[in-house]
Structure 1
Amino acid sequence: MTHRQAGPGADMAALYPFLYADSTNLDKVLDEVRSSTVDKAREITELRREVLERDGERLAACAQRMAVAFAAGGRLLAFGNGGSSTDAQDLAGLFLGPPHPQARPLPAFGLTNDIAVVTALSNDVGFDVVFARQIGAFGRAGDIAVGLSTSGNSENLLRAFSEASRRGLLTIGISGYSGGKMAELDSIDYLFVVPSPSVHRIQEAQTTIYHALWELTLGALAAQEAGQADAGGRPLRR
């Protein structure tokens, strides 16, 4: 009797059994790949719909707050670990260098962009403070702090949110699973949770969330500016 070996190989075999079969039937493999792709697409579509139905109004409200902050000269500071670090950099890049030429750029920074700062703080002080220390140095009241995590349990994010809240920043968390420890914090003004046990689906849906926040923020800024001028483009008196 053949026994499957436990460990990472077994996990991969469970996800992609056709890659570990003793013999291969090409038609069957293609059918399994097609079925797997359809299932994953359906799963992320349903997950995005669930997040929209549950958090649509809160996303709009959060974007309004972000627009007010940007209009007053605020900046966005984004942070995360691992894959969430990449998403945080993408988020900052989206606001700072929007993909549409007609979209306005907004001041945004990724707190993992400077590897010298990240490694210095990690080595000299501790990895738990790599974001909190930067927020302490750069963050100003009226800025925006956005932290991304799949688990919601990263200690350096928890400390960053506490520091940001203490300094008067608008704080936004984007998490997965059931929110983790981030869901227990009073220091997060808006928390958006992607309720899935799959890291892949979580990160896909989180990308949708921050793209929605970007579009809604631009829309809110445009509406605010339109409300501050009359039909002839002259500023309204308050």
Structure 2
Amino acid sequence: MLRAPQSRTEVGPVSAGVAGAIGALYPFLDTRPTDVDAVLAEVARSTAAKAAEIVALRESLVAEHGQRLVDCARRCAAAFRAGGTLYAFGNGGSSTDAQDVAQLFLHPPTAGRPVPAISLTHDVALITALSNDVGFEVVFARQVAAFGRAGDIAVGLSTSGGSKNVLHAFEEAARRGMLTIGLAGYDGGRMAECEFVDHLFVVPSASVHRVQEAQTTIYHVLWELTQQALTDEL
């Protein structure tokens, strides 16, 4: 005989401990009496602190990566002049950034020069097929092997620097004579030890949020510098 779904009273109320934990993480979901002014003050303080942190982090990257970004942009411009295509890839949030990279170069938001760029993360059917039939570690390397050729550009993003499928793609790209560009966080992880990355830009932070925010700045600067190099202004 089918049994009716349990009601809330049958399941039992949420324990005070769980409610307290939820309230600590998300004050707006807390069912206990709340000092609204104190919550708003804490939100304002936390927002200001995070904004100051990302500004300071971005400023520190100027000295660390400024000239190296210029050098990388010149090589990218040379590759595009020779008919090269940029391929971008990453996992999770880095997958979204990879799509942003491709769109930025292919369809500039301003009056920039569009150049060939493709994200290797947008084809869900292909990624799931490769993951199911071969293995997730090769979802990018197989595409690089199929599409990449000497003179193309491979841009891989990883907050940890240790994504195996990104590292395998770099190895395949290097084997094919492609220019390889890596963006990583923390201390660079395995990407910093990889011999197949020509240009590596590390964001020295242990916060995934700050890393990805700063990586967005890095590839936008790289795009702007590449645009300048394409017009011989760099």
Question: Residue deviations 1:27-75, cap 9 Å, x none?
Answer: 1111111111100100000010111111111011100100000011000
Q: How many residues are paired up?
A: 219
- Aligned equivalents of 1:62 and 1:210: distance in 2? 11
Normalised by the length of structure 2, the TM-score is: 0.88
From 66, 81, 94, give the equivalent of 1:71.
Answer: 81
Q: Does residue 52 in structure 1 map to residue 96 in structure 2?
A: no
Percent same amino acid at aligned positions?
64
1:122 maps to: 131
Q: SS where residue 186 of structure 1 aligns?
A: coil
| In structure 2, C-alpha distance between the alignment counterparts of 1:185 and 1:158, rounded to whole Å | 8
Q: Tell me if the contact between 2:22 and 2:29 (Cα under 8 Å) persists in the aligned partners.
A: no
Q: What amino acid is the match of 1:142? A: G
1:191-230 map, 5 Å: 191-223=200-232
Distance 1:163 1:206 in 2: 23
Change (3 A) 1:210 1:22: same
TM-score, structure 1 normalization = 0.86
Provide the residue aligned with 1:113 in structure 2: 122
Is 2:151 the partner of 1:142? yes
The answer to whether the aligner puts 1:90 opposite 2:134 as a matched pair is no
CA RMSD of aligned residues (A): 2.1
The one-letter amino acid of 2:48's match is: V
Report the residue type matching 1:36 in the other structure.
S
Other-structure match for 2:50: 40
Paired residue type of 1:221 = L
Match of 2:90 among 80, 85, 108: 80
Gaps in structure 2 of 5+ consecutive residues:
1-14
Alignment partner of 1:152: what SS? coil
- Counterpart position of 2:190: 181
SS at match of 1:223: coil
Q: Distance in 1 between matches of 2:187 and 2:70?
A: 22
Partners of 1:11 and 1:68 lie apart in 2 by: 53
* In 1, Cα distance between equivalents of 2:203 and 2:157: 11
Alpha-carbon distance between aligned partners in 1 of 2:169 and 2:22, rounded to the nearest angstrom: 34
Distance apart, 1:10 and its partner CA:
5.2
Aligned to 1:233: none
State the one-letter code of the partner of 1:107: P
**Over alpha carbons, which structure has the higher Rg?**
2
